[in-house]
Amino acid sequence: MGYTCRPMATLSHTGAPVRVVWTRRLSAEDAADYDRFVDTATSGSYAQARSLVDVMTAGRHFAPRWFLARAGDDVIGAGLVLRPRAVGPLVLPAAVLERGPVCRSLADLPVVLSALRRAALRRGVARLQVMPYFAGADADRAEDALARAGYKCVHEPSSAHARTLRIDLAGKDELGLFPSKSLRRDIKQAERLGARARRGTAADLSVLASLYASLMRAQGKAPKTDAYFAALSPVIAEGKRAALFVCEHEGTPMSAMLVMRHGTQATWLLGASNMEKRPFSKTGPTMACAIRWAQAEGCTVFDLGGIPMEGDHDDKRRSIAAFKFDFSKTEVRLVREHARWG
């Protein structure tokens, strides 16, 4: 059941009162405003896209809610709010916004945080966890705003990445996309030996699921659920929000990679490779295929999906980061996970 708050005492930096919607189901008008806002806002992220809610909640004990904040007629904040489930329809007194809330501008963040907190408290949320998707110097300023709003950093090595590598795709030729000589040599060697990377279809999700499950078991971790890949299937088939890439050699899948697209940014979300030994890079051709696809689709940025934070000495994460550094040396800071009680 939806609920719309009356105009609140909180004012935007323009002086307009802020109105909030917090609901299980958005009206047609609110849904259109939400989609338009999240798709165009600088701090928008695929993790906040309404069309990916089934993917974001598949196999996880979360109940989704929608948050929308308006100053006058303008949307200034929005977010997919995940409420941890207790039993059946009951939810715990907590809420998480992964890569949210989305804000119209950094200047709106304090107002949006205030409106979000008030709306959350009305619904019995005692702990609110957020991670606005600002980068670089804006990430530092956003964390300052979070601290002033009473939030504390709760980021852990296993949290969503807050340090990443990015590739500028705009106007780059093949040499610009892959400036490392050793990288170009590795990709060409793989191709010369018969490795072929291609864009996959929804039918190839079983390849990614199998490779990823083997990787996770080898690390003593739980793989993604069947529900997760089932939710991905229509998104891959639709082809706008996500793309799958597969590399094969002599009929055997060598690697698979899932890339999410939001606006003009593509982000590597998930990937795994075959554990069999081969005399070439099993993931390099897949990554190269994904980067070329992103550029052809009009993306200007390719996010390599994160590298370990300073002080994180996990061998697996550091090994993956070493592979990513072959593709880019451009490090970007993101906002870390923050939470507050009450």
Residue 63: CATH number of its domain: 3.40.630.30
Same-domain pairing of 183 and 252: yes
Per-residue pLDDT of 269-301, as tens digits, reads 999 999 889 999 999 999 999 999 999 999 999
Quick one: pLDDT at residue 244? 98
Quick one: pLDDT at residue 8? 52
- Of 133, 158, 181, the one marking the end of a domain is 133
Share of the chain above pLDDT 70, in %: 96
Share of the chain above pLDDT 90, in %: 82
What domain range includes position 255?
Answer: 170-299
Q: Is residue 319 part of a domain?
A: no
Q: Is residue 23 part of a domain?
A: yes
Per-residue pLDDT of 194-239, as tens digits, reads 999 999 999 999 999 999 999 999 888 889 999 999 999 999 999 9
Quick one: pLDDT at residue 170? 96
Q: What's the length of the chain? A: 342
Whether a cis peptide bond, with omega within 30° of 0, leads into 101 is yes
Query: Is pLDDT above 80 for 84?
Result: yes
Q: Is residue 112 part of a domain?
A: yes
Q: Is residue 154 part of a domain?
A: no
Handedness of CA 317, 319, 320, 324 (dihedral sign): positive
Same-domain pairing of 187 and 294: yes
